Amino acid sequence: MSGRLVIRRLGRADYEPVWRAMQRFTDERDEHTADELWLVEHPPVFTQGQAGKAEHVLAPGDIPVIQVDRGGQVTYHGPGQIVAYPLVDLKRRGIGVRDFVHRIEESIISVLEIYGLTGERVAGAPGIYVNGDKIASLGLRVRRGCSFHGLAFNIDMDLEPFGRINPCGYAGLRVVRLCDFSAVDFHAAEDHLIQAFVTQLGYSETVNEGNMPYE
């Protein structure tokens, strides 16, 4: 595989405008549109996937809950968490959804290895775990053969809001951060994740751009 990947570092941005921009990008792209990888930190927000059950949102308090069109159950996004949205034409790259999920998970595992950690998969519970505790979650949507939504990787964030939900629909699931195990610079971890994703997907060229293509 080869091809061009546009990388957009969005900084800190509200969840809903980024979500709507992903939808528009996916709906309006064509066979010539380059794939993109958006990286963002969201202000505190719970997002509930299409199959999400209300009983898994225990006590959201002052944090908004947004019903979204990705797979999976409820999760939390907040500052200090890398949220990465790979907007990839899977059909063009000849990748099935299961293979794509595997490659995203491998990208996270590769970053953990840099910090001396072993990332693990758990059958039936998408995401990556360290010693049985969840460090990264995954929720995708594929439309017209193209992906949006993506992954959330806990780097150095407040974990308290995870106690207000059953993370990913699992009561009592422990959630951890990369900083619990190693000194870590957020932007360095982000760089490692980008490189791992480029390697896993086999892009031959990367281009750094600025803001979302839709404002």
Rounded Cα distance between 137 and 159, Å, is: 14
Do residues 76 and 45 touch, judged by C-beta distance below 8 A? yes
Cβ-contact 37, 87 below 8 angstroms: yes
Give the whole-angstrom CA distance, residue 66 versus residue 144: 24
Of 171, 132, 127, 175, which Cα lies nearest the Cα of 155? Answer: 175
Of 168, 175, 196, 201, catalytic: 168
In the annotation, is 179 catalytic?
no
Give catalytic residues, as residue numbers.
168
